Structure 1
Amino acid sequence: MVFRKATEKDLPRIIEMIADDKLGKTRENFQIPLPKEYVEAFQKINTDNNQELIVVENKDAEIIGTLQLTFIQYLTYRGGIRAQIEAVRIRKDKRGLGIGKAMFEWAIERAKEKNAHLLQLTTDKKRPEAIKFYEDLGFVKSHEGMKIHFK
């Protein structure tokens, strides 16, 4: 597998994977051409040095996975950096093959390279299989997350 920074030409495959699950179908708008909001968001992510949108390719150079890492500088932990992993997706026909585990192993190493002291994630409570997967990788339920949606 090859892990690389996403380019704008990868965006349709990325959005297709993000939209291709039970929750993604309710909140995403995958169509070709892509709605401009996705392109604008990609451009912001791509120019931010604290953001890494990654695609994973197989030996045939097909995109089979994606994830986004955000590095958050803050004052606690003596001015530490925390890494946040989001939007982890694997192409539907490639799930269950160990790709997700390999992606998380890569993300953990990348966070360490950036001197982050931890890697965190949030997951929807409606995804019990994902929660079990994260726990099996060593993630611990340490905090109770809360959100407020504005739309």
Structure 2
Amino acid sequence: MDEIIFRSATIDDLSALVTMLADDALGSVRESADDLGPYRAAFAEIDNDPRQELLVAERHGAVVGTAQLSILPGLARKGAVRAQIEAVRVDRPLRGHGLGSQLIEECVRRAREHGCTLVQLTSHASRVDAHRFYDKLGFEASHVGFKLTLADSSNH
């Protein structure tokens, strides 16, 4: 694979990021690039928070991957700082070519730079291929996750 550049996302990347978020079975019903307004607001909030990093993988000037890295201080584990990886996506034509592994490795590298002692992520129960992928990278399926929907996300 050609050289990949990892960098922080800019507002100019937003359309490409939303398109990748929508390009799978779950995302196609949750996301829509038709109205970028809610995504612009979320991007601004993420961009202004020093504990949040929206990463992009760039190849030949095009955005081909993304992940969000959140730094979470906590009391548990003797005050450990942990990193949460969310919304990992790779452009469809490049899936299965190692870019996802590189993207996760970059997230882990940045987590170490932030002094994190643990990196965690969640993956929807239906994403069996993703579970195998994370397992191969050394992640352990150690917890059962629960969610409580508070509001329809399309309303804000």
State if a TM-score over 0.5 links the two structures: yes
The 5 A counterparts of 1:1-151 are 1-31=4-34, 34-58=35-59, 60-150=60-150, 151=152
**Secondary structure at the counterpart of residue 120 of structure 1:** strand
Distance in 2 of aligned mates of 1:96 and 1:35:
29
CA distances 1:32-70 after superposition (whole Å, capped 9, x unpaired):
xx3311000000000000000011011x11111000000
Distance in 2 of aligned mates of 1:9 and 1:141:
35
Q: TM-score, normalised by structure 1?
A: 0.95
Moved over 3 A (4+): none
Residue type of the partner of 1:48?
A: D
Distance in 2 of aligned mates of 1:149 and 1:122:
16
Quote the offset at 1:78 in angstroms. 2.0
Q: What root-mean-square deviation, in Å, do the aligned CA atoms of Structure 1 and Structure 2 show?
A: 0.9
**Secondary structure at the counterpart of residue 84 of structure 1:** strand
Quote the offset at 1:107 in angstroms. 1.0
Quote the offset at 1:88 in angstroms. 0.4
Residue type of the partner of 2:44?
A: Q
Q: TM-score, normalised by structure 2?
A: 0.92
Distance in 2 of aligned mates of 1:82 and 1:136:
21
Distance in 2 of aligned mates of 1:35 and 1:66:
17
Q: How many residues align?
A: 148
